[in-house]
Amino acid sequence: MTNTPTPLAPERAKQLAAEYGLKPDEYDRVLAILGRTPSQTELGLFSVMWSEHCSYKSSRVWLRELPTKAPWVIQGPGENAGVIDIGDGLAAVFKMESHNHPSFIEPYQGAATGVGGILRDVFTMGARPIANLNALRFGMPDAPRMKQVIDGVVRGIGGYGNCVGVPTVGGEVNFHPAYNGNPLVNAMTVGIAPTDRIFYAKATGVGNPVVYVGSKTGRDGIHGATMASAEFSADSEEKRPTVQIGDPFAEKLLIEACMELMATDAIVAIQDMGAAGLTSSSVEMAGKGGMGIELILDNVPQREAGMTAYEMMLSESQERMLMILKPGREAEAERIFRKWELDFAVIGHLTDTGRIVVRHKGQVEADIPLAPLESEAPLYRRPTAETPKQPVLDAASIPDPVGIEAALLKLVGCLDLCSRRWIWDQYDSMVGGQTAKRPGAADAAVVRIEDHRRALALTTDCTPRYCQADPEEGGKQAVAEAWRNITATGARPLAITDNMNFGNPEKPEIMGQFAGAVRGMAAACTALDFPVVSGNVSLYNETEGTAILPTPAIGGVGVLEDVAQAVGLALPPGLDLVVIGETRGWLGQSLWLREIAGREEGAPPPVDLAAERRNGDFVRAQILSGAVRACHDCSDGGLLVTVAEMAMAGGTGASLLPPPAGIPAHAFWFGEDQSRYVLAVSDAAAILQAAQQARVPAARLGKSGGGDLVLPDGRSISVASLREANEATLPALMEGG
């Protein structure tokens, strides 16, 4: 048996380091850490652990600015998922992850394994998953391969989530040419656990066994983390072998087996094998505990013959977990996993050396100090260039080319506002029987907690066009929008997870977008008591030098003490409509400006965080008092689109009052001013009086009833024609050949 790894020839090592994504100075650091040339396995370990995807080497300096603490936060960033206290001795465990690059290369499996990976991040903490959400960005459906990508991604999300038995309850979709060569697939999972039964990834106890459970290891997904840390080029199709293959039925068995073992006290630490597979799980667990770890790869359950140490350490085969058990509990754990027809193997033990040692076939294939791998990856404060501010547009100087009715019909049918039914109908949103507000029924999904009156409100939000125009305001708005959507159901917003999707961080303008978005998010999270508890960074989202729109996707979680108090957006007849918040008619970066006037320009609407807090707290109090029958926040498309969406959801029309003097009608109806909600109430006078006392801007908007939206000048649009325009777009694009 050899006790030192066989080093590569120096020139070959240097060449492979570049192929694996290590920069020359990073490779020099590897040489200094080891004091010798690395073996191929060692080089593989450094390349994946120091990849952007695993180390956050370009983003960590900025992410530190985000607020992460609150009295209800049990675990913030740094673990597999964030954990918050939701009352009754229960915790919500949640996180959002990206699977962008794999989903472009192999849409179905890329999206499916994204769902599988985020599920494991949650149940590895001891939480039973209760809901999935997603945030999707696609290019234009007529762009090359894009229909195939849209179809594959949606089927992949639905196929995996439906089979594993976790409802997909919400999400969002945007379309823009910037995503033509680089779609974004961000998956979020929320789970529930007792507050006193949370499991962590910190390995402790010299000699404790290292146990592999789940499915066998194959050659799929090797260098997936590295691939996800590079731009696409014309040969991206050749990267298909880096995409993992998912098995949702194995995942379901894995959830149940882990839950059964977690009910004992046998587990010291547990981690899923996600990006970088066995490498990241072993390195991170041992590193967090200040331990060393020794692995015997001969014991790893293998799906394919002749696998090398390098392949096993870097494989990203799915449905696998790594655990540290208490000594002597191996047989008990093995019984459970064998019962669920899953592989179980003791593949190593913890040491006190502070090193990872990998053995295979009598050879030491890697022997590396853990600290530099786990927590001392290169850290870059890359140059930033601020995004130039765009001018504030004067609504009065922008003529209305088509009129209110024609604009509304076009807007409700445009790609960013049309019905997502074609997508969500492919997802099972009701499995488990706890979904109280399905997709399209409310601003946030509402999922009750089994055997409790308590419920969670869940949403994903971001407006990339705002972020492109002004990253700081856009970052602010993304957080505020999530907070608003949760508030609009009556729930109290508690915390967020984020998925930071940006282009190449080595370009100062891209790094400037990232830094600006973080500043805006931090300000909003602080003002709204809405801390960040988990998240993911996905950089290098570019194809042949063209970057995506900056997309800091926000996943928000809130709590309702009583699910019966939740309200949706469907408009009942015979009610007063009231708008909460100030309307100035902000057209910069609005959908009206893009779709109707054919212009993408101007400063995005500013976000007044004090007004957000004041208006939202008022609306939530009114909902919980029982005064509000329906509520919808105002966002894309503005006030008239908000009312139209409520009308379409409820099958009821409304008669609308004239806009105030001094604001052009098209700006009033389609401006995207923030901090606004439309409420349907039985007594407008009482709401207006309460708003006045709370110093909250509020105004009558009209009255619900009939089958038409009746405009102030008497012209009307039937709700049926709005619904037809809204529902037709996606099926026509996707099924129309």
Residue 319 Ramachandran class (φ > 0 left, ψ -120 to 50 alpha, else beta): left
Closest by CA to 55, choosing from 321, 372, 357, is: 372
Q: Angle 680-686-690 (CA atoms, 0-180°, nearest 5)?
A: 100
Residue with tokens 């390195």: 283
Q: Is 234 exposed, middle or buried (0-12, 13-18, 19+ CB in 10 A)?
A: exposed
Query: Residue type for 15, please?
Result: Q
**Quick one: which of 631, 718, 730 has its CA closest to 677?**
631
Report the alpha-carbon distance of residue 30 to residue 22 in Å, rounded.
Answer: 10
* Cα–Cα distance measured from residue 215 to residue 200, given in angstroms and rounded to the nearest whole number: 22
Positive or negative CA dihedral for 480, 485, 488, 489? negative
Question: Cα(547)–Cα(511) distance, rounded to whole angstroms?
Answer: 12
Label residue 239 left, alpha or beta by phi (over 0 means left) and psi (-120 to 50 means alpha). Answer: alpha
State how far the Cα of 549 lies from the Cα of 535, in Å rounded to an integer.
Answer: 19
Assign 3-state DSSP to the chain and report helix, strand, coil percentages, each to 5.
35, 25, 40
Q: Copy the structure tokens of residue 275.
A: 């990006």
Q: What is the DSSP letter of 94?
A: E
3-state SS assignment for residue 33: helix
* Encoded tokens for 582: 């100030």
**Number of Cβ atoms within 10 Å of the Cβ of 624:** 18
Residues 6+ apart with CB under 8 A from 263: none
Element (H, E) at 435: strand 435-437
> How far apart (Å, rounded) are the C-alpha atoms in residues 455 and 566?
9
Tally of CB atoms within 10 A around 431 = 17
Distant-in-sequence, close-in-space partners of 437: CB < 8 Å, separation ≥ 6: 444, 445, 446, 489, 566, 568
Do 222 and 102 contact (CB within 8 A), yes or no?
A: no
Which pair of tokens denotes residue 736?
A: 């129309």
Q: How many CB atoms lie within 10 A of CB 728?
A: 13
Active-site residues, by number, are 53, 99
Q: Let me know the angle formed at the C-alpha of 280 by 274 and 286, rounded to the nearest 5 degrees.
A: 130
Scanning the structure block, which residue is given the tokens 């991040």? 121
Residue 198 CA neighbour count, 13 Å, CB half: 25
Contacts of 183 (CB under 8 A, 6+ apart): 100, 103, 104, 136, 137, 138, 139, 146, 149, 150, 153
Q: State the DSSP code for 177.
A: G
Q: Which of 567, 729, 728, 569 is nearest to 644 (CA)?
A: 569
Q: Which of 650, 663, 625 is nearest to 722 (CA)?
A: 650
Dist. CA 188–CA 461, nearest whole Å: 12
Q: What are phi and psi of 289, to 5 degrees?
A: -90, 0
All residues at 6 or more sequence positions from 256 whose CB lies less than 8 Å from its CB, including other chains: 340
